[in-house]
Amino acid sequence: MDPSGATHVDTANAGAGAVGAVGVRIQQTRRLPDFLQSVNLKYVKLGYHYLISNLLTLCFIPLIIVTLIEASQMNLNDIRQLWLHLQYNLLSVVICSAFLVFGLTVYIMTRPRPIYLVDYSCYRPPDQLKAPYGSFMEHSRLNGNFDDSSLEFQRKILERSGLGEETYVPEAMHQIPPTPSMAAAREEAEQVMFGALDNLFANTNVKPKDIGVLVVNCSLFNPTPSLSAMIVNKYKLRGNIRSFNLGGMGCSAGVIAVDLAGELLQVHRNTYAVVVSTENITQNWYFGNKKSMLIPNCLFRVGCSAVLLSNKAMDQRRAKYKLVHVVRTHRGVDEKAFRCVYQEQDDNGKTGVSLSKDLMAIAGGALKTNITTLGPLVLPISEQLLFFSTLLVKKLFNENVKPYIPDFKLAFDHFCIHAGGRAVIDELEKNLQLLPIHVEASRMTLHRFGNTSSSSIWYELAYIEAKGRMHKGNRVWQIAFGSGFKCNSAVWQALRNVKPSQNGPWKDCVHKYPVKILA
């Protein structure tokens, strides 16, 4: 604008802008039918789902209407005749009633007891244990165990891992040089387990003496006395407690521990079960230069969860969730699957966990087997019909037909995918056709806390709660992968609008999330 107030327009730029705008409009016009088609297909599928899901109800409506009309036309004389008929057949009525009562009694006595998740707690390490990228790489360089190639490899893994700057490593790894020892490993185990349990007992007001079942899982650290014995000793649990210690079962052991505790609660009446899931890093840091064994150093971080389960009917009122299904898949019969996550020594005798290049393909196969079992239990009938009809066509007519991938978004409201690494989350998001919000909890847990092994699915559930997204009736799918090779799923249903527990792991940082993770 000049001093006179006249406005000058750059005609060349204006013309280019106009052409660009026209070009955009043309492009949008060309894409509009495709967009409309995708929208129409979406709503056609949604309509099909609602029609099939409510087909039984729709069929019963005419029958109910006819019955009501017939009942309204019955006069007093018809009712009197019906009563006389029943009097003449009193013996038949009594026998039928007796069978009905007997059948109901047997059903009530033999049906599975509902398992309630009263509350859970995730350990939040102190700030002094944080390991930002710069500190991690500086410590790796100063400890003198890694050559230049290994240092560069770790740097690249960190940059692509999806981990943020605030994950935690144990105290022994902050020393220069690192000081791993049995005493330091015990100290880490006590710190994370007791920290999670103290918070759990405080939030639930349950006394340690009331615990009837204790299940602890930790894959790589199994001292004597066991981790479960350490908890019994610390909290003075009762002498007849059923305690179990699961070792060497990898990152999916948390679901296995829940399954074991749930089975025990079917046997032992009116009691509580506590499931503690953790991993110990102190004695399992790799100090060699084999690339496949360096990856766990970059991904695994400190974490622990403690879960309180109950079979008491009175706990339904205060419980957060009810356990609906547990589905376990084990591919250990296959040699490649068995060795894809393998603890061993390298050529220099240094111990670590080696990750195979076939890991993602093996995980995909285990997932396929797992969801084939889980699908019929959770999917609506509309999705089951589509899946089995596609499978039938593929078997009978055309082998090239792509198998139909069921829409698990119709079965679940929330997904807690084990935060094993960025590639794991990407693969499941793609294969299950999930939306970014469905994997947000997994990505943000990986960013904030790293791979905390079997406890990661509980940090993810805590994230969903902290965001205020868990409502009554919502279903949650927890899915985890582990050495062996295993893929395990747990399905929970929210019994109320769930609020985050006191002193949750996301209490003072959830407002910062979600964050954008660079590619």
Whether 438 is a known active-site residue: answer: no
Question: How buried is residue 482: exposed, middle or buried, by Cβ count under 10 Å (0-12/13-18/19+)?
Answer: buried
Q: What is the pLDDT of residues 403-458, one digit of tens each?
A: 777 889 999 999 999 999 999 999 999 989 999 999 999 999 999 999 999 999 99
Its pTM stands at: 0.82
CB < 8 Å & 24+ apart, contacts of 507-511:
507/466, 509/448, 510/463, 510/466, 510/467
Please tell me the distance from the alpha carbon of residue 161 to that of residue 422, in angstroms, as a whole number.
Answer: 6
Nearest to 455, CA basis, from 310, 260, 252? 252
Whether 447 is a known active-site residue: answer: yes
Active-site residue, from 340, 447, 474, 488? 447
Query: Exposed e or buried b for every residue in 415-454, given b needs 16+ CB within 10 A?
Result: bbbbbbbbebbebbbeebebeeebbbbbbbbbbbbbbbbb
DSSP state of 411: T
* 3-state secondary structure at position 226: coil
Q: Is the dihedral of CA 218, 481, 300, 306 positive or negative?
A: negative
Q: What is the CA radius of gyration of the chain?
A: 29
Please tell me the distance from the alpha carbon of residue 149 to that of residue 167, in angstroms, as a whole number.
Answer: 24
Which is more confident, 78 or 296? 296
Query: Could you tell me how far CA 489 lies from the centroid of its own chain?
Result: 7
Q: Which of 53-62, 190-199, 251-260 has the lowest mean pLDDT?
A: 53-62
Q: Which domains does the chain have, with CATH numbers?
A: 58-110 (no CATH), 116-512 (3.40.47.10)
pLDDT computed for residue 434 by the predictor: 94
Whether 418 is a known active-site residue: answer: yes
Instruction: Calculate the alpha carbon distances from 65 to 55, 70, 73, 101, 187 in Å.
Output: 16, 9, 13, 30, 70
Give the other-Cβ count within 10 Å of 377's Cβ.
12
pLDDT computed for residue 481 by the predictor: 95
Q: Does 84 have pLDDT greater than 80?
A: no
Please tell me the distance from the alpha carbon of residue 114 to that of residue 323, in angstroms, as a whole number.
Answer: 7
Phi then psi for residue 415, to 5 deg, are -125, 125
Whether 451 is a known active-site residue: answer: yes
Active-site residue, from 122, 199, 245, 251? 251
Q: Does 248 have pLDDT greater than 60?
A: yes
Active-site residue, from 122, 218, 245, 418? 418
Active-site residue, from 217, 330, 340, 487? 330
Whether 330 is a known active-site residue: answer: yes
Please tell me the distance from the alpha carbon of residue 266 to that of residue 143, in angstroms, as a whole number.
Answer: 51
Q: What is the pLDDT of residues 130-158, one digit of tens each?
A: 999 999 999 999 988 899 999 999 999 99
Active-site residue, from 297, 451, 474, 488? 451
